[in-house]
Amino acid sequence: MNHNDHDSTDSRVDRRRFLAAASATGIAASAGCISSLTGDDDDSGGELGLIGSGMDGRPAPGGTPMADMPDLSGTLTLYSGRGEPLVNTLLGYIEDQYEDFTVDTRYEASTTLANQIETAGNASEADVFFSVNAGALGLLADAGLTVTLPDDIQEHVPSQYRADGGAWVGTSGRARTIPYNTDELSESDVPDDIMAVPDADFAGDMGWAPSYGSFQGFLTAMRVMSGREETKQWLEAMLDAGVTRYSDEFIVSRAVANGELSAGFANHYYIQRVLANDEDAPLATAFTQNDAGAIFNVAGACVVSSTDDEDLATNFVRHLLSAEAQEYFATRTFEYPLIPEVEPVGDLPPVDELATPDFDLAQLSDIGPTIDLMREVGIQV
């Protein structure tokens, strides 16, 4: 699976875009029944925040509505590596569309669930595995524990965001970024080469979350692309500079906005969540170019080979690519939708304007050597 072929586009604008401050203080319904998915009933205890910038005048989403998809009937066992606060509203909405359909969801870390499915093999209770990252999906695909998805499902999503052969398909995406404090830094201060960041004047005033899965995925991409030794040197240089550890990347982004840090490492949507709650926060986002710091990872789903109702499981995955579900991911979780008919929220560059590297996302499943390397340099994970 080739990750991204868009880097040859001559008309690409500068990748180091900035996210505009969020202007929305409430939620405007996009269209029809989708309003019940993107309302302001935040079930995350406040962590998600309000819907971000770009909601004013947002067009109705394109794509295929659930009403035009096959009906769902029966009980589906979903192993979800996506957290309950992020997806339970969407799952409840899908259930409500069908009188005889129920989702029995087991929430756990994606890697934990993938390991459980692999251990159980044909005895697994899972019908569908819904992962926060491509790496965990790759683990099951490599083990031969997935069902090939129909062509019409695969074709909903650009080829770089699904597995070769149809073992899994991406449902939403996230870009790696460098959030920075605009009171402390300007655009020209932030390197567009991830390997140059430890040498930046502000490197000692940065934050990271090394226990966070997306950070470990970014390091895995660096190790695969640049080699173990160069990645080790990068980690040691960041530690020598004095980078500060945080528990997650939302906290990193908030610390940047609060002036505790000058910059950090985070997925793009955490910046949007901070700005959604404080449109005047001195926070902007830089993208590196064509390197591990510009990895675009996807959440996604696969049908598990142990399912006893392949049609139901397949049609459920199809629903995750519906107009309603893609609008939900854009406006509720601030992720990139993966069907071209639905736009991302906020002043974000389109996916095809990100300078992402040509990288097989399935390689992110090789995380063990990355964890070993982190521990070797003294990072507790």
- Domain residues for the domain of 160 are 24-173+296-351
Q: Say yes or no: 60 and 195 in one domain.
A: no
Neighbours of 199 (CB within 10 A): 11
Tokens of 58: 């947002």
Q: What CATH number has the domain bearing residue 117?
A: 3.40.190.10
Q: Say yes or no: 182 and 259 in one domain.
A: yes
Q: Which residue in the block uniquely carries the two structure tokens 């401050």?
A: 21
The pLDDT assigned to 57 comes to: 63
- Has residue 9 been placed in a domain? no
The pLDDT assigned to 300 comes to: 97
Q: Which spans in 97-245 are helix H?
A: 110-120, 134-142, 151-154, 213-226, 228-241
pLDDT(24) > 70: no
Q: What does the pLDDT look like over 345-370, one tens digit per residue? A: 766 777 667 788 989 887 887 889 99
Residue of 142, 84, 145 whose CA lies nearest to 116 = 145
Q: What does the pLDDT look like over 42-78, one tens digit per residue? A: 223 233 333 333 455 677 788 999 999 999 999 999 9
- In this prediction, residue 279 has a pLDDT band, given cuts at 50, 70 and 90, of confident
Number of domain units in the chain: 2
Q: What are phi and psi of 76, to 5 degrees?
A: -110, 130
Q: Say yes or no: 302 and 282 in one domain.
A: no
- Has residue 364 been placed in a domain? yes
- The mean of the pLDDT values for the chain is 84
The pLDDT assigned to 294 comes to: 94
Q: Say yes or no: 317 and 286 in one domain.
A: no
Q: Say yes or no: 146 and 201 in one domain.
A: no
Give the Å distances, CA to CA, from 85 to 11, 27, 71, 82, 214: 39, 18, 26, 9, 18
Percentage of the chain beyond pLDDT 70 is 84
CA distance 281 to 277: 9
Q: Say yes or no: 250 and 364 in one domain.
A: yes
Q: Taking the model in full, what pTM does it have?
A: 0.74
Give the Å distances, CA to CA, from 320 to 93, 274, 287, 357: 11, 26, 28, 26
- Has residue 366 been placed in a domain? yes
Residues near 124 by beta carbon (within 8 Å), at least 6 away in sequence: 116, 117, 145, 304, 306
Q: Say yes or no: 257 and 365 in one domain.
A: yes
